[in-house]
Structure 1
């Protein structure tokens, strides 16, 4: 069993939203990793959905969450309705509580959200966090890279990565008993009887 962190950041997003997944995979995650490497050297960035065929993804997510320093939620209204996204956020919030992070004594937390979609409908616990607003740059297509806004997107992402790099050393030492929450399994599907 690993005795250290494996990932510096876990990018949490609503995997059912294809346009969010495309933005994360095409623009956000690769550039964030590049700018983190500029500040820290070799870094680990976990993006759900980037696993190998045959992985048992609930176990893979639990493993990655347990061994991640910081959570980067890509927030949309549906992010806060998705039970897996909620479990990822709640896992890190519980870690903050058990380690004293995001408190009056240690105000820096382990959850660093970015705004992808309308933030007016986010729940109150989300509004307690300082968020970086990426709504102006929430375009998944390759054409976004050729736009005049792409340089501004890169500048904002570079500043965000620099902040994360500065916070990395403030993360508490890894412990095997960090809480990792997962949604309760739903009722098993009952197959329809075949029509003869």
Structure 2
């Protein structure tokens, strides 16, 4: 069964992007979506992964049990193995559930632009990208700026569009493909010198 309505995919080593998601994007999107829907809305953002748990296994499980992927895109997003694997997993699900006679392909990926979309790969530009660059301020005090009101309005538009995608998501299957990069071998422990 689905556990999450939305899986937020982003480059985890980019501290400004993760701060922006944590302080602004995730809480506003979660609140607006939850207010709009009859059912409780659950959004996966990996700050929910418990300390000590297997991070790759948690991500894999969350992605497999999510209806829609929301990649927060930056140029380096498309060089990150985990980000590309998350996008590829959901793109594969779209292909598996495509109806040949349908005019439009089922959309399960809703990309938002954090910065500089000029340097995205061509295949990313084939999708409609929601540009949030003018509101990409990671600092908490952004919430007190007048521009935050415009950001809130944009989040409401995004929530409306995501609602349609969530409702149109295919029935859950336990064999949804989930791609993950090959794990790096553990680093060799250094022996102390005596």
Residue 140 of structure 1 and its aligned partner are, at CA, apart by 1.0
Residue 125 of structure 1 and its aligned partner are, at CA, apart by 1.4
Residue 190 of structure 1 and its aligned partner are, at CA, apart by 2.5
Distance in 1 (CA, whole Å) between partners of 2:64 and 2:7 is 10
- What TM-score do you get using the length of structure 1 for normalisation? 0.93
Distance in 1 (CA, whole Å) between partners of 2:5 and 2:93 is 15
Cα shift readout 1:155-179 (whole Å, capped 9, x = no counterpart) = 0010000111122221110000000
Structure 2: gaps of 5 or more residues = none
CA contact (8 A) 2:97 2:106 kept: no
Distance in 2 (CA, whole Å) between partners of 1:188 and 1:52 is 21
Match of 2:15 among 14, 18, 29: 18
Cα shift readout 1:11-51 (whole Å, capped 9, x = no counterpart) = 01111011100000110001001111122131110001321
2:119 corresponds in structure 1 to 121
Distance in 1 (CA, whole Å) between partners of 2:47 and 2:30 is 16
Q: Secondary structure at the match of 1:69?
A: strand
Aligned length: 193
CA contact (8 A) 2:94 2:105 kept: no
Moved more, 50-59 or 20-29: 50-59
CA contact (8 A) 2:33 2:41 kept: yes
Equivalence map 1:149-160=2 (5 Å): 149-160=147-158
Residue 58 of structure 1 and its aligned partner are, at CA, apart by 0.4
CA contact (8 A) 1:101 1:109 kept: no
Distance in 1 (CA, whole Å) between partners of 2:156 and 2:100 is 23
Distance in 2 (CA, whole Å) between partners of 1:172 and 1:188 is 38
- What TM-score do you get using the length of structure 2 for normalisation? 0.94
Distance in 2 (CA, whole Å) between partners of 1:145 and 1:99 is 39
Match of 1:32 among 17, 29, 32: 29
Distance in 2 (CA, whole Å) between partners of 1:69 and 1:190 is 39
Residue 106 of structure 1 and its aligned partner are, at CA, apart by 3.2
Residue 103 of structure 1 and its aligned partner are, at CA, apart by 9.3
Structure 1: gaps of 5 or more residues = none
Match of 2:3 among 2, 6, 9: 6
Q: Secondary structure at the match of 1:120?
A: helix
